[in-house]
Amino acid sequence: MKSTRALALSLALVALSVGSCSSPREEAPQKEVTPAAPVVAEVPPRIDVEALAMVEHFARARALREAVIAGELEDLRAPATWLKGQIDAASFPAPWRGHVAEVQAAAGVLVTTESIAAAAAEVAAMAGACGACHASLQAGPRLTIPPLPEAVPGTNAHMIRHQWAAERMWEGLVIPSDEAWMLGAAALAEAPLAVEHLTENVELPEEVLAMGERVHALGATGKDARDRAARARIYGEFIAACATCHKGGC
């Protein structure tokens, strides 16, 4: 009896097992898994140390120029001190060193000078040294020349064109660019404002009034200047004249 019951139980288990195999259990669908993106460490771009240094030089040289044009000698001290003490000509590639030394020498004068005329001459010489370096290395800033502002009546519009000329002549020295220099000099050589326009709302000393004629004469001379030294001298006189006018009440 026991053996018969055991056999029946075994057959029942076999039948159940066969039934299970013939009707497999339905499983829930699996969610699609997107593989995680590989973690890649970002590699910082290579820093061109010399190019970065030139950006610093250029920014401080411009600050020196703006200080001269405004006639503010004290504003020269900080950028001049940086250029004199924070750069080392020996740390630059050999072809650069002589030009960097020129920049440092000009900066050394600007740290202590009490003369706007002397400061203007040194800033212009510094710009010329930058341009000489760029020319010798066949490198330097890219140039995009904006259009000359429209010539409309009024002192303010005339001064805006002077500013445009100052920028182009600066680029002519620093980049260097004959095109920029000649465009700036031509704009500066335009007929000066009449005295009655300059003195319409302010009384100006004779020295300042004479500067208008002098600045435009410098523009005419600048159109004929071809070498670096002559252009630097003209530019120095130009920005010194700007300072005289600004400090005189323009």
In the chain, what are the domain boundaries? 49-248
Is the per-residue pLDDT at 27 higher than 60? no
Instruction: Quickly list DSSP for the chain.
Output: -HHHHHHHHHHHHHHHHHHHHHSPPPPPPPPP-PPPPPP-PPPPPPP-HHHHHHHHHHHHHHHHHHHHHHT-GGGGHHHHHHHHHS--GGGS-HHHHHHHHHHHHHHHHHHH---HHHHHHHHHHHHHHHHHHHHHHT------PPPPPP--SSHHHHHHHHHHHHHHHHHHHHTT-HHHHHHHHHHHTSPPPPHHHHTSSS---HHHHHHHHHHHHHHHHHTT--SHHHHHHHHHHHHHHHHHHHHHT-
pLDDT of residue 105: 94
- Please give the average per-residue pLDDT across 227-240, as a whole number: 96
Query: What pLDDT sits at residue 204?
Result: 56
pLDDT > 70 in the chain, percent: 70
For residue 195, the model assigns a pLDDT of: 52
* 16: pLDDT strictly greater than 80: no
The pLDDT-based confidence of 129 (bands split at 50, 70, 90) is: very high
At 148-179, the pLDDT tens digits run 998 887 778 888 988 999 999 999 999 999 99
* pLDDT classification of 206: cutoffs 50, 70, 90: low
Indicate if the pLDDT at residue 91 is higher than 70: yes
Confidence label for 196 from pLDDT (cuts 50, 70 and 90): low
